[in-house]
Amino acid sequence: MTFKTLDSAELAGKRALVRVDFNVPMADGAVTDDTRLRAALPTIALLRAGGAKVILLSHFDRPKGKRVPSMSLAPLVAPLAALIGAPVAFADDCVGELADRAIAAMKAGDVLLVENLRFHAGEEANDPVFAAALARNGDLYVNDAFSAAHRAHASTEAIAHRLPAFAGEAMRRELDALDAALGRPRSPVLGIVGGSKVSTKLDLLRNLVVKLDQLAIGGGMANTFLAAQGHPVGASFFEQDLAPAARDIMALAAQRDCELLLPLDVVVAKEMAPGQTAVIRGLDAVTTDDRILDAGPATVARLVAAMDRAKTLIWNGPLGVFEIPPFDGATTAAARHAAALAMTGELIAVAGGGDTVSALRHAGVVDDFTFVSTAGGAFLEWMEGIPLPGVLALNAA
């Protein structure tokens, strides 16, 4: 698909409605992680430099169409202003008289944050009347919230059909990275999918095995595949009822010439807790009271060799229980190797998903990959091949 960017927009004096994702973690009324605020800064700066009036639209939490004071966006005004280095005004509603007055008072280059979109039931209902009320306050629409693009809401989908619609800078970077990973990747393409449950990633696995050259499966979900092959998994977590689905995925991979890289060896312990003695086992040496908690060194060595041959890597999910050392070994070693290749330009390395971002941060390489998406659900749905309404609405073709 094609989409318009702000490079082609006439900005001077225009009211730019910018959909951002400011659903940030808060504690005692203060922002504890400003990553999503920072992500919006390039788009805000570009619009201000072009002389636009910047009107920021966002949701926060799940008020379910009612005004919930604890879910107001007002506490974000001060930290956002500090990041921008300029005043940020606030409107106590996103539509109606309060929003109208605040927008009418704006001058070129001003920034206004309006109240939580989800205080109105029409937002999540993708209500055309609510979308029209939002659109009346803008001359152009900018979607800079890929993390909300998997939801067909009024501020992500319906509004894009009522105004000239553009991708913001964060959205553009995300879409370009995803296109490089699966849309038009450099081959060979290697995937890593980890995490605990096959059941949550069946559609993802089925989509990837028809697109990738190699797919490594790790984490607890690898146990289900090992059990499906007849290997003992001891006291490890696995989904016995999904063994047939695992065998179907293995058959589909073979049919589509995607090599599945399942563990060659594993790291086990008696309990999933800090301070446990970790033991490396061959696949057929796992005992009844062993818990598989990480991939073994032979598995990591093969995965590292696959990275060396690959040109593109897409990664979702850790290879083990990385939160509890020493069961972070495989994830950390693989992440650091991928990061080293990405930094030299030998590998396009794209990763995403909440646990993945945490694992890469734990390994100290979250800034060294080609691109790391913090979008969560939108990233996973994109990997599954599901069209994202907020992205489709930007299609300029």
Tens-place pLDDT, residues 90-139: 999 999 999 999 999 999 999 999 999 999 999 999 999 999 999 999 99
pLDDT reading at 376 higher than 60? yes
Question: The domain containing residue 135 runs over which residues?
Answer: 6-170
Question: 3-state SS string over 111-126?
Answer: EEEECCHHHCHHHHCC
Could you read off the pLDDT of 84-97 as tens digits, one per residue?
999 999 999 999 99
Per-residue model confidence (pLDDT) at position 1: 66
CA atoms within 13 A on the CB side of 138: 31
CA atoms within 13 A on the CB side of 333: 20
Point out the catalytic residue in the list 14, 15, 19, 36: 36
Give yes or no: 38 in active site.
no
**Considering the domain boundaries, does residue 102 fall inside one?**
yes
Q: Which positions ≥6 away from 177 have C-beta within 8 Å? A: 350, 370, 371, 373
Residues 64 and 192 both lie in one domain: no
**Considering the domain boundaries, does residue 178 fall inside one?**
no
What is the Cα Rg of the chain in Å?
23
Residues 189 and 163 both lie in one domain: no
Strand spans (E) along the chain: 15-19, 26-27, 30-31, 53-57, 89-91, 111-114, 140-143, 165-167, 189-193, 214-217, 259-261, 265-269, 279-282, 291-295, 312-316, 348-352, 371-373
Using a cut of 0.85, tell me whether the model's pTM lies above it. Answer: yes
Residues 238 and 351 both lie in one domain: yes
Could you read off the pLDDT of 148-160 as tens digits, one per residue?
999 999 999 999 9
176: confidence class by pLDDT, cuts 50, 70, 90: very high
Q: Which two tokens stand for residue 123?
A: 């937002």
Point out the catalytic residue in the list 4, 136, 197, 206: 197
pLDDT reading at 397 higher than 60? no
396: confidence class by pLDDT, cuts 50, 70, 90: low
Could you read off the pLDDT of 45-80 as tens digits, one per residue?
999 999 999 999 999 999 999 999 999 999 999 999
Residues 160 and 241 both lie in one domain: no
Residues 235 and 133 both lie in one domain: no
Point out the catalytic residue in the list 65, 354, 376, 385: 354
Distance (Å, rounded) from C-alpha 347 to C-alpha 349?
6
Q: Rounded mean pLDDT of the chain?
A: 96
Give yes or no: 197 in active site.
yes
Q: Which positions ≥6 away from 208 have C-beta within 8 Å? A: 191, 193, 215, 258, 314, 383
Bridge-based pairing state of the strands 140-143 and 165-167: parallel
The total number of structural domains that make up the chain: 2
**Considering the domain boundaries, does residue 395 fall inside one?**
no
Residues in the chain: 397
Domain boundary among 170, 193, 211: 170
Point out the catalytic residue in the list 65, 109, 234, 377: 377
Give yes or no: 354 in active site.
yes
∠ CA(153), CA(154), CA(157), 5° rounding? 70
**Considering the domain boundaries, does residue 386 fall inside one?**
no
**Considering the domain boundaries, does residue 271 fall inside one?**
yes
Greatest Cα-to-Cα distance within the chain, rounded to the nearest angstrom: 72
Residues 209 and 337 both lie in one domain: yes
Q: Which two tokens stand for residue 128?
A: 């055309």
Residues 147 and 222 both lie in one domain: no
Residues 270 and 128 both lie in one domain: no
Place of tokens 């749905």: 381
The answer, yes or no, to whether the previous bond of 42 is cis (omega within 30 of 0) is no
Q: At 14, which CATH number?
A: 3.40.50.1260
Could you read off the pLDDT of 238-261 as tens digits, one per residue?
999 999 999 999 999 999 999 999
Per-residue model confidence (pLDDT) at position 331: 98
**Considering the domain boundaries, does residue 103 fall inside one?**
yes
Give yes or no: 66 in active site.
no
Residues 204 and 151 both lie in one domain: no
**Signed CA dihedral, 51, 159, 164, 138: sign only:** negative
Beta bridge partners of 260: 215
Identify which of 20, 84, 12 has the alpha carbon closest to the alpha carbon of residue 52: 12
Per-residue model confidence (pLDDT) at position 155: 98
